[in-house]
């Protein structure tokens, strides 16, 4: 086989193929949506495929603009809820307290990944259900984003390693979700830390400079 006939295994080639995959899924979801019995399922499939499309587009997207944080927070919470329903997960009460008009600098897709990974990390730690609260506000020192839950918390002995690549206490988990969170936050000039709440549960706190 000549080099011109070789398959495109580069990142642009993969992005191209994944776009076709997600478009096929969206087309299938449109067909399901026509049947009232499957309308809610079709909606979850559609939102999941659109999330995948945004991730693919975000691979090569670089931006220094700002965006409405509440919009991305809403998308991330919706995705987490869809994930729980699709996997027959526990009942989780999601709460959001976002400062009106709060804008964050950076790639919206990257921040969507941050929130989705943090949300899924929390819900997977609460197999019996619970509460997850996402808050975000700006003060003199910049923007503070906090995701807190009322789950079992994080064992103290693993707190120093929780953001390390491939570190996980679950055998079926790749252990890269929180590492992705730290990498994206750092790329936007911010910091993220994990801690246990005095009243019980875990919290993840992101601090970054104001968008301006």
- Whether residue 125 sits in one domain with residue 104: yes
pTM of the predicted model as reported, rounded to 2 decimal places: 0.79
One domain for residues 104 and 191 = yes
Q: How far apart are CA 180 and CA 199, in angstroms?
A: 28
Higher pLDDT, 70 or 11: 70
How many structural domains comprise the chain? 2
> Percent of the chain having pLDDT more than 90?
48
Higher-confidence residue: 44 or 92?
92
Q: Work out the pLDDT band at 7, boundaries 50, 70, 90.
A: very low
- CATH at 156: 3.30.565.10
The tokens describing 138, both together, are 């700006």
pLDDT digits (tens, 9 = 90+) for 74-133: 999 999 998 888 888 899 999 999 999 999 998 898 899 999 999 999 998 999 999 999
**Model pLDDT for residues 202-212, shown as the tens digit of each residue:** 999 999 976 44
Give the list of residues 6+ apart from residue 154 with CB closer than 8 angstroms, or none: 162, 194, 195, 196, 202
* Distance (Å, whole) CA 183 – CA 75: 21
Q: What is the pLDDT of residue 29?
A: 81
25 and 108 in a single domain? The answer is no
User: What per-residue confidence (pLDDT) applies to 28?
Assistant: 83
Instruction: Tell me which residue of 69, 60, 162 sits closest to 121, measured CA to CA.
Output: 162
Alpha helices in 34-99 (DSSP H): 39-58, 69-86
Verify that 14 and 92 share a domain, yes or no: no
For 71, the domain range is: 65-208
Separation of alpha carbons 113 and 75, rounded Å = 10
Residues 5 and 39 in one domain: yes
Which neighbouring-strand residues pair with 131?
93
């Amino acid at each position: 086989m000549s080099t011109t006939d070789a398959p495109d295994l580069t990142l642009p080639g993969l992005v191209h193929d994944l776009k076709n995959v997600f478009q096929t899924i969206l087309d299938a979801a449109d067909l399901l949506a026509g049947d009232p019995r499957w309308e809610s399922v079709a909606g979850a499939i559609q939102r999941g495929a659109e999330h995948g499309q945004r991730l693919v587009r975000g691979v090569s997207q670089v931006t220094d603009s700002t965006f409405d944080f509440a919009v991305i927070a809403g998308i991330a919470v919706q995705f987490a809820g869809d994930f729980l329903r699709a996997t027959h997960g526990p009942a989780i009460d999601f709460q959001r307290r976002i400062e009106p008009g709060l804008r964050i600098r950076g790639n919206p897709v990257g921040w969507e990944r941050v929130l989705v990974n943090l949300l899924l990390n929390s819900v997977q730690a609460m197999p019996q259900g619970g509460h997850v609260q996402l808050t975000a506000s700006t003060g003199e020192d910049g923007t503070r984003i906090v995701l807190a839950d009322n789950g079992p918390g994080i064992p103290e002995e693993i707190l120093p390693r929780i953001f390390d690549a491939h570190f996980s206490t679950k055998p079926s988990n790749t252990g890269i979700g929180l590492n992705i969170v730290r990498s994206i936050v750092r790329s936007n000039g911010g910091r993220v830390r994990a801690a246990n709440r005095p009243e019980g549960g875990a919290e993840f706190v992101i601090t970054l400079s104001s968008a301006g």
